[in-house]
Amino acid sequence: MIAHKATAIILVSSLLLSGVLGAAIQKRDVNGEENAPTTTNICHARTPCAWAVYVPFTRKIEYYMTNTCECAKGKQCVRENDDISVSAYVYRCSEGNNSTTNSRELPNNTAS
C-alpha cells in the first residue's frame, strides 16, 4: 500500500513539474439554455489523457488513472509510450484507425 502511495505521489509531482495538468482547451456546450452551460476539457495533442501505473520489473498494471481532460470527438485515448521514471504507461489522444492502435486503447472499465 505504501508503494502505491509513493508511486502516485511521484506521478503527480512529475505531472505538476511538467505542467501537463493545466494543458487543456475549454469548450462550452451550447444547448440553448443560458443558465446551464457545461464545459468539457479537451486534451491538447501532447497532454496525456490517462496513465496505467504498473509494478516495476514485472510491468503488471496495478491501476489506471485518467486525466481531467477528455479526447476530442473522433479520437481515442491510446497508449503511446512508457515513462519508466514513474512506472507508468502514458496514454494520449489519437485518431486510432488501425488494429495496432486498437490493441493499445485504454480499457473502458477504468476508474479515475
pLDDT reported for residue 16: 39
pLDDT reported for residue 6: 55
| Residue 19 pLDDT greater than 50, yes or no | no
Looking at the whole model, is its pTM more than 0.75? no
Instruction: Report the percent of the chain where pLDDT is more than 70.
Output: 55
All three cell numbers of 77: 485515448
pLDDT reported for residue 25: 53
Mention every residue, 6+ apart, whose C-beta is less than 8 A from residue 25.
Answer: 41, 42, 44
Per-residue pLDDT tens over the stretch 24-76? 555 555 555 555 556 789 999 899 999 999 999 999 999 999 999 999 999 99
Is 9:1 a contact under the CB 8 Å cutoff?
A: no
Nearest to 65 by CA among 25, 107, 32: 107
Q: State the Cα torsion 9-11-17-21 to the nearest 10°.
A: -110
* Beta partners for residue 105, in sequence order: 78
